[in-house]
Amino acid sequence: MKPTTLDEAMALTKKFTERPSNEELLKLYGLYKQATEGDNTGERPGGFDFKAAAKYNSWLSLKGKSQEEATQEYIDFVGNLSEKYI
C-alpha cells in the first residue's frame, strides 16, 4: 500500500513489523520535521547527546527544501520502507 498523504504515511509506519535501520529512522525524522516545521532553526544539542545531535543534523541537512517537497519525499520513502518492513 502506497500512502498518499502525510497522515497516511505516519499511520503506515506504525504497522512496520521490524524496526528500520538507524539511517532510515534518521531520514524519516529529518523529512518529517522539514515537512511539518520547515528549516531547522533550533540550537545544536550539546556535547554528548549523540542521538539528539544525529537527529538535529538529519533535519539540518534538508535546509532550504520546501515543506511540500519534504512531504512528498517522506510519503515516497515510507511507501518504499513499507515494502521492506510490512
pLDDT at 83: 96
Asked whether the whole model's pTM tops 0.85, one would answer yes
Domains in the chain, CATH or no CATH each: 6-85 (1.20.80.10)
pLDDT at 31: 98
User: Helix (H, G, I), strand (E, B), or coil: what is residue 59?
Assistant: helix
CA angle 76, 82, 86 (to 5 degrees): 170
Q: Is the pLDDT reported for residue 1 higher than 80?
A: no
Residue 15: exposure state from Cβ atoms within 10 A (0-12, 13-18, ≥19): exposed
Q: Single out the residue of 28, 31, 30, 33 nearest to residue 16, CA to CA.
A: 28
Q: What is the pLDDT of residues 28-81, one digit of tens each?
A: 999 999 999 999 999 999 889 999 999 999 999 999 999 999 999 999 999 999
